[in-house]
């Protein structure tokens, strides 16, 4: 769900009191910005420079916030361009503001590319490999709540309404979940994955990636599953057809930094089907739950049904532009 | 209406094409921000610095946009701290982006003070006088659509539902409109007024005003009416009681730069009643028109009923801390 809204207002007095716990100088400006998952984000200008202030709203489990902040700190320390949490005078990256967990991270220049081309996909492949390499050695773990074990639970309460979205959808998803639960690979190389690396979360300046953002789905899972998510999010055209040139560019750039193991390559098609189901399901559930008339832009679940159908016909990873 | 939302999304490709018509360098970042009347606003970072990009949505009449832009340019050229429109390579301050009129203005540091104290009110009085003085000589005129001639028209379609908001409200407003139409002063000094100078639109850094923003209600009207709007917006406490110390500070600071004429002082009570009615009416109509469940924060019309009742009991401007 892409909610273009700020959920919480922060008064000048509470913000100034909060900033007094940091060593960032004087408050100069603070503007609510519309971005990211359902947190409240602010562009923050202080004497020390530009930052992002985030208040964690209920969609992000509060017990997970320390994982996300520690991860961004680890990745930034290992050379990844991503928001770096700022620690307050007591050494803590997480504080409280307006009755919510709150953090300040560095502001990254860059903007999302809405229609990525082959060169953008190559840049993404390189950045994804850098993320996976930078994540090695990160000591914390977080299970992926939106992987195969979670999908049937997510679908069950909404299944009866699936056919409102597309005729036969309940049967299609049920059969796909049967397939995925049977064949989901269990022994692939694990590590920190972003798990939501859509074009919205990859900042470019010109043709160069300036940063990766929005780590609030990050978790410990198969690294190749992160690639599968990116194949879905970056390598289809607006009309729904798969673009093997983009996929090849993404995979080649990735492999140049982190070679893929044979089993990762072999499992790409089933991982890509799983990734398509994951976004089909969350978009479908968001659509059912959204209040009518709300100022929320919903993403189309059917886009992911089209992508799922493509992956269902893929025979081997060669269809993604890779040699097996 | 304080809609904390961005109404229009702008793609990177159309934004880069739009920026190519300016001499501002490379696009570095663009974030939708939640502020102002119902326009879409973006924090824009380019090689030349920080700016605000505004797309004018339907609530601002397109034919009025050149007035607002010319006014900001005039005021900035005459020393007021306000957003200064940036002209494109063809010399125009107004362009088109995402099928809407669009402009780029300078970014001003500063943040709104939610609970202004006496010193803030003094700073406001000084800034308001500077605005009125800087506006002298501005050649364009724009009628105030939300002055006494407009109020009955605004109220009529909603009048039957007024008692849903407060018992007796229809009768109270009707009687007040009778009074105001009879006594509204017609021969006060005119000029450019901001007409919406609420704390949201006055940026402070510390105790100093860094800028006035959001000129999209600005018009040609009695300068003292702008003061009356500020008395309503700045000089009541959260519990609804009038604070004469704030009012005196505001008026004294104003008069130090622009002395008030005797007739302006005498008419302050009726102008203050009118200002209270104007915001009571627009808030009431916004409340009736808002879609249920929308992510919009509505302001309470009854706050202005309380203020109206205070002004109805005012005998002379001495009650605002002024000698007659």
Domain CATH for B29 = 3.30.200.20
Q: How far is CA A108 from CA A76, A93, A118, A213, A214, in A?
A: 12, 18, 24, 9, 12
Q: Is residue B308 part of a domain?
A: yes
pLDDT above 50: residue B3: no
Quick one: A135 and A23 in the same domain? Answer: no
Domain count, chain A: 2
pLDDT exceeds 80 at position B290: no
Q: Do the chains contact at B31 and A28, CB–CB below 8 Å? A: no
Last residue of a domain, one of A60, A85, A107: A107
> Cβ of B111 and A15 within 8 Å?
yes
Considering the domain architecture, whether residues B101 and B143 belong to the same structural domain is answered as no
User: Is A6 a domain residue?
Assistant: no
Nearest to B31 among A28, A43, A295 (CB): A43
Q: Which of A6, A11, A293 sits opposite B4 (nearest CB)?
A: A6
Residue pair B101/B65 in contact (Cβ under 8 Å)? The answer is yes
pLDDT at B223: 98
Quick one: A182 and A315 in the same domain?
A: yes
Rounded to an integer, the average pLDDT of B98-108 is 96
CA distance B256 to chain A (A): 28
Residue in B229, B135, B267, B231 with CA at minimum distance from that of residue B190: B135
| Contact across the interface for B29 and A293, Cβ inside 8 Å | no
Same domain, A124 and A103: no
Of A4, A111, A292, the CB nearest to B12: A111
Residue B296 pLDDT:
54
CB contact under 8 A, B34 and A297: no
Percent of the residues in chain A that have a pLDDT greater than 90, as a whole number: 84
Mutate which of B1, B28, B207, B290 to test chain A, going by most A C-beta atoms within 10 A?
B28
For B307, other C-beta atoms within 10 Å of its C-beta total: 24
Are residues A88 and A212 located together in one domain of the fold? no
Of A74, A221, A75, A82, the closest CA to residue A142 belongs to: A221
Judging contacts by C-beta atoms under 8 Å, the chain B residues touching residue A29 are: 107-111, 203
DSSP letter (8 states) at residue A85: B
The alpha-carbon gap from B46 to the nearest alpha carbon of chain A, in Å, equals: 9
* Half-sphere exposure in the Cβ direction for A266 (13 Å, CA): 9
> Can you give the pLDDT at residue A289?
80
Residues A29, B5: C-beta atoms closer than 8 Å: no
Contacts of A297 in chain B (CB under 8 A): 9
- Separation of CA B188 from chain center: 20
Asked if A274 and A184 touch (Cβ cutoff 8 Å), the reply is yes
Distance between B212 CA and the closest CA of chain A, angstroms: 14
Tell me how many degrees the CA angle B200-B204-B205 measures, rounded to the nearest 5: 145
pTM: 0.91
Half-sphere exposure of residue B20, counting CA atoms within 13 Å on the CB side?
A: 6
DSSP-assigned letter for residue B158? G
- Is residue B122 a part of any domain in this protein? yes
| pLDDT > 90? residue B9 | no
| Chain A residues lying within 8 Å of B45, measured CB to CB | 109
Looking at the domain assignment, is residue A91 inside a domain?
Answer: yes
Task: Please tell me whether residues B240 and B294 are part of one structural domain.
Answer: yes
Q: Give residue-wise pLDDT tens across range A41-66.
A: 999 999 999 999 999 988 778 899 99
Which of B28, B34, B291 is nearest residue A6 as measured by Cβ atoms?
Answer: B34
Query: Is B211 inside a domain boundary?
Result: yes
- Determine the structural domain holding residue B290 and report its residue range: 112-320
In this structure, is residue B7 part of a structural domain?
Answer: no
**Closest alpha carbon within chain B to A41:** B33
Residue B229 lies in a domain: yes
Q: Is residue A4 part of a domain?
A: no
pLDDT greater than 90 at residue A34: no
The CA distance from B28 to B47, in Å, is 7
Contact A112, A123 (CB under 8 A): no
Domain end marker among B48, B76, B107 = B107
User: Token pair for residue A131?
Assistant: 């993320």
Please give the helix or strand (H or E) that residue B205 lies within, else none.
strand B202-205
pLDDT digits (tens, 9 = 90+) for A219-256: 999 999 999 999 999 999 989 999 999 999 999 999 99
In chain A, where do the E strands start and end? 27-33, 40-46, 49-55, 95-97, 100-106, 111-112, 190-193, 202-205, 208-212, 219-222
What pLDDT, on the 0 to 100 scale, is given for residue A25? 97
Interface touch A28/B110, C-beta < 8 Å: yes
Contact A34 B30 (CB under 8 A): no
How many contacts does A have with B, using Cβ atoms within 8 A? 105
Q: Can you tell me the mean pLDDT for A163-187?
A: 95
Is the C-alpha dihedral spanning A300, A305, A307, A308 positive or negative?
Answer: positive
More confident residue, A34 or B75: B75
Closest chain B residue by Cα to residue A45: B109
Domain shared by A246 and A280, yes or no: yes
What are the DSSP calls for A296-315, one per residue? -BPPPHHHHHHHHHHHHH--
Residues of B in contact with A10 (CB under 8 A): none
Nearest to A26 among B33, B206, B295 (CB): B206
| Inter-chain touch A110–B28, beta carbons under 8 Å | yes
CATH number of the domain to which A203 belongs: 3.90.1200.10
Residues A244 and A152 in one domain: yes
> Are A251 and A322 within 8 A, CB to CB?
yes
Cross-chain CB nearest to A29 (options B110, B292, B293): B110
Q: Supply the pLDDT for residue A324.
A: 53
Is residue A290 scored above 80 in pLDDT?
Answer: no
In this predicted model, what pLDDT tens digit does every residue of B231-262 receive, in sequence order? 999 999 989 999 999 999 999 999 999 999 99
Using pLDDT thresholds of 50, 70 and 90, give the confidence band for residue B8: confident
Within 8 A of A113 by CB-CB distance, chain B residues are 12
Both B101 and B169 in a single domain?
no
Do A129 and A92 share a domain, yes or no?
A: no
- Does B110 sit within 8 Å of A5, measured CB to CB? no
ipTM confidence: 0.90
* Measured distance CA(A170)–CA(A175) in Å, rounded: 9
Min distance B42 CA to chain A CA atoms (Å): 8
Q: Which chain A residues are Cβ-neighbours of B17 within 8 angstroms?
A: none
Would you state the pLDDT for residue B37?
A: 60
- Domain termination residue (choose one: A107, A140, A175): A107
Same domain for B222 and B81: no
Same domain for B136 and B280, yes or no, is yes
Interface test with B, best of A2, A5, A30 (most B CBs within 10 A): A5
């Amino acid at each position: 769900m892409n909610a273009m809204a700020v959920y919480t207002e922060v008064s000048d007095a509470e913000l100034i009191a909060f900033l007094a716990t940091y060593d960032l100088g004087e408050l100069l400006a603070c503007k609510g910005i519309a971005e990211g998952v359902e947190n409240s984000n602010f562009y923050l200008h202080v004497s020390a420079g530009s930052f992002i202030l985030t208040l964690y709203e209920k969609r992000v489990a509060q017990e997970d916030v320390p994982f996300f902040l520690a991860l961004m700190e680890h990745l930034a320390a290992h050379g990844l361009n991503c928001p770096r949490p700022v620690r307050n005078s007591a050494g803590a990256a997480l504080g409280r503001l307006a009755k919510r967990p709150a953090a300040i991270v560095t502001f990254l220049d860059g903007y999302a590319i809405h229609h990525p081309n082959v060169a953008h996909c190559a840049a993404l492949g390189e950045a994804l490999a850098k993320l996976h390499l930078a994540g090695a050695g990160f000591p914390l773990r977080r299970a992926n709540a939106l992987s195969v074990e979670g999908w049937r639970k997510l679908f069950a309460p909404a299944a009866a309404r699936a056919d409102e979205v597309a005729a036969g959808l309940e049967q299609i998803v049920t059969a796909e979940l049967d397939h995925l639960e049977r064949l989901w690979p269990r022994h692939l190389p694990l590590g920190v994955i972003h798990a939501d690396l859509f074009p919205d979360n990859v900042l470019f300046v010109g043709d160069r990636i300036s940063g990766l953002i929005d780590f609030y789905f990050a978790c410990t899972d198969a690294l190749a599953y992160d690639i599968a998510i990116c194949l879905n999010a970056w390598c289809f055209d607006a009309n729904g057809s798969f673009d093997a040139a983009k996929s090849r560019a993404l995979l080649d750039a990735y492999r140049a930094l982190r070679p893929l193991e044979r089993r990762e390559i072999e499992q790409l098609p089933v991982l890509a089907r799983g990734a398509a189901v994951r976004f089909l399901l969350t978009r479908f559930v968001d659509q059912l739950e959204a209040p009518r008339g709300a100022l929320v832009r919903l993403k189309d679940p059917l886009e992911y049904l089209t992508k799922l159908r493509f992956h269902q016909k893929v025979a081997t990873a060669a269809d993604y532009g890779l040699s097996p």
